Amino acid sequence: MEIYAGIDIGSVTTKCVILQGKSIIGKALVKTGIDTEKCANDVLDMAAGDAGIKVEEIQRMVSTGYGRRIFRRADRIITEISAAAAGGYILCGEKATLIIDVGGQDTKVIEVNGKGEVLDFLMNDKCAAGTGRFLEIMSHVFETDIQGFSQLAIGSESPVAINSTCSVFAESEVVSLIASSARKEDIAAGLFRSIASRVAGMVRQFRRYELTVFCGGGAKSQALKGFIEKAIERPLIVLQEPQFVVAYGAACLAR
């Protein structure tokens, strides 16, 4: 059976998924470093190792993500929007109508039709507000990682109101909140809620969101999922290992 690879070169991590026919036989994830092309090659080697195949056995490769053009071995280059749509749609049993992808640098909301084709999409503005990067910066303020930060937020009963969505200003707002002895849990929850409301604002611009899939690194956070669900008054479907959805979509488009 033919073998395909999808490589998603994101701003924070680089992911690779290898498909044989329709099933995933290997995957890998590395942090995106200064040498983006090397990262892409490394992650491909690792995924091939995971699959127990040689890179040469891969018939076609598709690259995506913000560094998609840097990977010169790709047979085809597509945007992460098309890849997320394909990945989310196929993985949820071809029923998705809306896909939310909270990545490191961008947050996207993508509407798909009954064939998994993109009908419309929205992306966040150029700054980090409402993205994974924002969460990362805030978790540093709390001296933890995103998972720890998410756990902290879940423990809150009354989230504080955070006004700044700019990561630089939010950081100083948080520092003054800490100084005013607000509970850490409530501050963390307030931050998640502020991102969730931005994402929800994008979601509400679409009319069809019966079946909404949540993917990207941000989907690993239970707190973020919870606050978005509350804001849009709909449950979200979080796929297993949501960080790989875009790379999986790229691999599917290589078929």
Report the residue number, 123 or 231, with the smaller CB distance to other proteins. Answer: 123
Among residue numbers 45 through 74, which ones bind other proteins (CB under 8 A)? 66
Beta strand ranges found along 21-163 (DSSP E)? 23-31, 60-64, 76-77, 98-102, 107-112, 118-123
Residues 142-201 binding other proteins (CB under 8 A) are none
Which residue, 35 or 125, is less far from other proteins as judged by CB?
Answer: 125
The reply on whether position 120 binds other proteins by CB under 8 A is yes
Total interface residues for other proteins by CB under 8 A: 18
Residue owning tokens 């892409």: 40
Any contact of residue 209 with other proteins (CB under 8 A)?
no
Stretch that binds other proteins, among 21-29, 41-49, 80-88, 137-145 (CB under 8 A): 80-88
- Based on CB atoms, which residue is closest to other proteins, 152 or 215? 215
CA 160 to chain centroid: 26
Q: Give the separation between CA 212 and CA 110, rounded to whole angstroms.
A: 10
Cα–Cα distance for residue pair 3/21, rounded to 1 Å? 7
- Which one, 72 or 126, has the nearer CB to other proteins? 126
Report helix angle 146-154 to 184-203, nearest 10.
Answer: 100
* Of 59, 117, 163, 172, the one binding other proteins by CB under 8 A: 117
- Distance of alpha carbon 216 from alpha carbon 207, whole angstroms: 22
Q: Which residue, 250, 253, 251, 246, is CA-closest to 103?
A: 246
82: contact with other proteins by CB under 8 A: yes
Place of tokens 């196929």: 90
Question: Counting contacts by CB under 8 A, is residue 123 touching other proteins?
Answer: yes
Indicate the residue type of 212.
Answer: T
Q: What are the residues binding other proteins (CB under 8 A)?
A: 66, 78-82, 105-106, 117-121, 123, 125-126, 205, 207
